[in-house]
Amino acid sequence: MSKAPLFNRLALIGTGLIGSSIARAARAQNAVRAIAATARTPETRRRVAELGIADTMAETNAAAVEGADLVIVCIPVGASGAVAREIGPHLSPGAIVSDVGSVKGAVLREMAPHLPKGVHFVPAHPVAGTEYSGPDAGFAELFVNRWCILTPPEDANPAAVEKLAAFWRLLGANVDTMTADHHDLVLAITSHLPHLIAYTIVGTADELGEVTKSEVLQFSAGGFRDFTRIAASDPTMWRDVFLANKEAVLEMLGRFNEDVSALTKAIRRGDGEALFEHFKRTRAIRQGIVEIGQDSPAPDFGRPHPGLPHSALPRPYANDDD
Ligand code: NAP
């Protein structure tokens, strides 16, 4: 016999890629008895209703959280403070409030002041995603074998933290816990800086002009293609990430610029040994990532496109770690 659901009523504020994936996965795993969802625009609310991935569609954020014992805010991080202010007075005592934002320090600072006493705030970041957005892009397996990082404040209720961790494990994720500041530093180098580099390089190539542009597309398999996929990620989400994690991103960008300068110097001086030693070290890092199971050893060529159909994709091709 399957176990009783962990929560009675899950409220999802925002039902794009991440929110709709949580809805699908929570239902597939019988993690909650009922799901109430909402989205900012009537179009998305209508689409979510058509997809039938929630039991009820609420017109407002306040209505969505009524009676919920788990609330997960799945919207761009820049909007999290305003939404917390809106839902604060409508939260049930004892409810767990969480989010999925890619930056944690700012979310903690923006949301916490608006949440009433007796509500347990446990921010979270499922490190899983794709470059697609909206409710149609979600799928139930998105979190399987991916990390979900919880960043509870120092005075968080341990039982609430453990219950949220159990929820994410049920959805297939591995759970880790750390401070919000540490999360933001780690993700600045593993996710935010790579996205910034992708956005930059694709923009640079685009500015090379029409003739080159066709060649850029023609020969895009030589590394550029992967950058274009990452650079197709949602502009609103990533604008908010860089604004909200400014300090850590600038710190990592400074280090990165120093390393680019060193490599530039090596190329200019014809220092093959320096280049070789650097590339040898980075190849070993890649092998380490494969060894701990965070990516496939399969060569890049011929991998299935990470778009459609998601459910048919073998792991780990379906995921970006955002
Ligand atoms: P998404 O597919 O674009 O969905 C965003 C949702 O938020 C939509 O339901 C949208 O409603 C709603 N929304 C947008 N702006 C809003 C606002 N100002 N106020 C209230 N609701 C608003 O985005 P997503 O990829 O699910 O990302 C959601 C969160 O997950 C972000 O904080 C992101 O940092 C985090 N995250 C993303 C990934 C990833 O790979 N995409 C991975 C991990 C974590 P409408 O459709 O009605 O506009």
Shortest-distance atom of ligand 1 to CA 43:
47
For 258-284, b/e burial (b = at least 16 CB within 10 A) is: eeeeeeeebeeeeeeeeeeeeeeeeee
223 Cα to the center of ligand 1, angstroms? 28
Measured CA to CA, the distance from residue 130 to residue 234 in angstroms comes to: 10
Most confident range, picked from 2-6, 142-146, 206-210: 142-146
pLDDT of 322 > 80? The answer is no
Q: Is the pTM of the predicted complex or chain greater than 0.85?
A: yes
Relative to beta strand 124-127, strand 32-38 is unpaired
Question: Quick one: which atom of ligand 1 is closest to the CA of 14?
Answer: 9
Which residues are paired to 37 by β-bridges? 12, 57
What ranges make up the beta strands (E) of 39-167? Answer: 56-57, 70-73, 96-99, 120-121, 124-127, 147-150
Between the CA of 159 and the centroid of ligand 1 the distance, in Å, is: 28
Which atom of ligand 1 sits closest to the CA of residue 61? 20
* Spacing, Cα 241 to ligand 1 middle (Å): 12
Instruction: Give residue 116's pLDDT band: very low, low, confident or very high (50, 70, 90).
Output: very high
Q: How far apart are CA 65 and CA 217, in angstroms?
A: 47
Q: Is 306 a residue whose pLDDT tops 80?
A: no
Work out the angle between the directed axes of helices 193-206 and 235-244 (0-180°, nearest 10): 130
Q: Whose C-alpha lies nearest to ligand 1, atom 25?
A: 17
Residue ranges of E strands in 59-152: 70-73, 96-99, 120-121, 124-127, 147-150
Q: Which of 130, 136, 192, 237 to mutate to test the pocket of ligand 1 (most atoms within 8 A of CB)?
A: 237
* Ligand 1 geometric centre to CA of 279 (Å): 37
Query: Which is it for strands 96-99 and 70-73: parallel, antiparallel or unpaired?
Result: parallel
The first and second tokens of residue 315, run together, are 């792991």
CA–CA gap between residue 315 and residue 74 (Å, rounded): 23
What's residue 275's pLDDT? 97
Whole-number Å distance, alpha carbon 176 to ligand 1 midpoint, is: 22
Cα–Cα distance between 176 and 271 in angstroms, integer? 42
- C-alpha pair distances (Å), 57 with each of 38, 40, 143, 262: 6, 12, 23, 54
Question: Of 106-110, 156-160, 289-293, which range is least confident?
Answer: 289-293
Mean pLDDT for the chain? 91
Which backbone phi and psi does 123 adopt, to 5 degrees?
A: -65, 150
Distance, CA 80 to ligand 1 centroid (Å)?
Answer: 10
Q: How do residues 232-254 score in pLDDT, each as one tens digit?
A: 999 999 999 999 999 999 999 99
Q: How many angstroms does the Cα of residue 107 sit away from the middle of ligand 1?
A: 14
**Closest residue CA from atom 19 of ligand 1:** 79
Write the CB contacts of 104 (distance below 8 Å, at least 6 apart in sequence): 123, 125, 149, 151, 180, 183, 184
Span 36-49, pLDDT tens digits: 999 999 999 999 99
List the structure tokens of 147.
């990390």
- The letter for the amino acid at 153 is P
pLDDT band at 305 (very low <50, low <70, confident <90, very high): very low
When pLDDT is cut at 50, 70 and 90, the band that residue 224 belongs to is: confident
- By alpha-carbon position, which residue is closest to atom 35 of ligand 1? 101
* Buried/exposed code over 55-65 (b: 16+ C-beta within 10 A; e: otherwise): eebbeebbebb
Ligand 1 pocket: which residues have CB below 6 Å? 14-19, 39-41, 44, 74-77, 79, 83, 100-102, 125-126, 129, 133-134, 234, 237, 241, 320, 322
